[in-house]
A and B are shown apart, each in its own frame.
Chain A
Amino acid sequence: MTEPLLSIERVSHEFGARRALLPGRRTHLAVDDVSLSVAAGESLALVGESGSGKTTLGRVVAKLLTPTGGTVRVDGRDVGGLSGRELLAYRRTVQMIFQNTQHAFNPRRKIRDILADPYEIHGLPAPGGRDAALGELLERVGLHASMLDRYPHQFSGGQRQRIGIARALSLGPRLIVADEPVSALDVSVQAQVLNLFARLRRELGLSLLFISHDLRAVYFLCERIAVLYQGRLVEVAPRERLLEHPLHPYSRRLIAAVPGLGERDSAEVSAADAPAAAPDAGESTAAAVAGAEPVTGVGCHYASRCPLHLQLGRPERCLTERPALRAAAGGSAVACHFAGDEPPAPVRSVVSEEVG
């Protein structure tokens, strides 16, 4: 395998870590020892419920956060200590698109000024004049040059997201971190923006780190999918493989919870599973936010809600040994001691038992 464009090596991020010396300070381990890589031109999805650390990981890659542990490499080079010119060069390589289109633009500045920023900061060449360059940029994302003198609030959410994409593209990046770029948009607009992403990937050969909880969008856009649960990577697999043969019990629940995707296996399972998975997701989110459930670092952090753990008779190993990511069939890698060893059928019975 050639060297990946982006490689995330054992990255952790703990919020409040610097203040932890003071007594009574609570820290929160948002990303816990995650390793991933993205090849040039590849599109990798980060999925997981809110609080799973996917956004934090994206912000680490975009260098909005400095990770408290691990290394991020681009083209094999550690990007941790970059500053000045090198940091600017990094910005030209890696760009980010934000979820909230309402706040991603300074409401007091015209689109022209906002889009001119990258040109001013990086001294980008604009052979035909800057106006022409900015107009061309807008056309590339399906807007018109005549919109340059408008303010952000004069656009719809979908249009603003296109402007966000244009802003990122102006630097000619090779990797774009897209943090839930469509989840705040109307469903009809989502498809348009996703199509734009697909087109730009095709035309420009972009790599994408696509953060989403929407598995359909992910399926449409990404070749590989990484599943995060409470800051840890539980499974990473090629798109079809993950959606059709999820190995990790958490991945299974996540996929079963999406109507229309879970059906692929069996309609009754998804119907039985969906109500079980939905409250579960909500509950664990609340737990992650409140920090009610201590992540001890010992054992598997999913064990307490894991149907497989239950089915196997609560093996001791799940509680004492943290599962390492191991390769499995079909290009998958899974962080579970037991997943994939057993036939999938009994798992369902356990789940339906739990529901009933």
Chain B
Amino acid sequence: MTAAPQIVVDPAALADEPQVRKLGQWSRLPVKAKAGAILLGLFVLAGVIGPMVAPYSPDYQSTNPALALHAPDGQFLLGTTQSGQDVLSQLLTGIRMTLELALLVGVIATVLSVVVGVTSAFLGGLRDEAMSLISNVFLVIPQLPLLILLLGYLPQKGQTATILVLSLLGWAWGARVIRAQTLAIRSRDFVAAARETGESTWRIIAVEIVPNQVSLIAASFVNTVLYAIGTSVALAFLGLADLSSWSLGTMLYWSQSAQALQLGAWWWFVPPGLAVALMGTGLVLLNTGIDEFGNPRLRDAARAVRIGGRRQYPADPTPVWQPGAQPRSGLGRLVHSFSRASLADHGTAAGGRTS
């Protein structure tokens, strides 16, 4: 304990408003979450209408040597591959494919983690121990070697196989986090009160507990989607995917195998690489945004409030606002309360100021 702790008396932070309704209000979302959502929205849009607006078929190969490894120009906005395929058309198709896979994995794995996490926390005892053991096993096994092994030996290497395998390996982390939060919620009085009215265990889980975990479940979903994008691209890059289909990963695989880097054909591997990076950024932004949202302490800890044009940090003393004391500053004057930076400049000069 150093100084006396700051008192948080923020009437808005004290009210525990339901997360569901808050998540639905765009204007109240943190900036990071908004930026992430917009970025991802663009990709989803590209994924939905992309294949329709793609100028060529991604598979169409031209035998014309002049059209192989053609640099970007007005006709081929992102150039062509070694076999004369249009990179832009491949990209638009690939985004859809990768997004589709990632979202499906996200949905399946999140449902699994909610079911496992919530029930294991709620049932407790041996069943909890067993379920926790299983999720811990899934957490510690090395993922990539297992994936390579599994996908290498599966009879077919299509999209469905990848989705199923990734979902099977992707739920454990979410299950652990959700289990922990369920344990905390389970001991709240409103759960006991629901039991008091005679509700069944399953109804208490579905109606009373899960709606309180919306932000955590959303975060878990976003995280799983991120994991699915990364892993599926990596697997395709290693050739462990249906190489006749177009995803961001298979694009990278073909550009690598054709030595696009050595040939200087940057337009072949930069667009898919950049697309993966931007999707990842969008997801991370969305995730931290949701995190701050579900955890007001996190949000308030970093938030500076603007009072009368000056930024107030949480560690600053209470600002003093005296309207009319110094009309020159327009909005009135803050007698004290420098931001941290100006404090460092002024040292302990504060005593000399009077209004």
Chains A and B form a bound pair: no
A residues apposed to B, CB below 8 Å = none
Residues of chain B at the chain A interface (Cβ within 8 Å): none
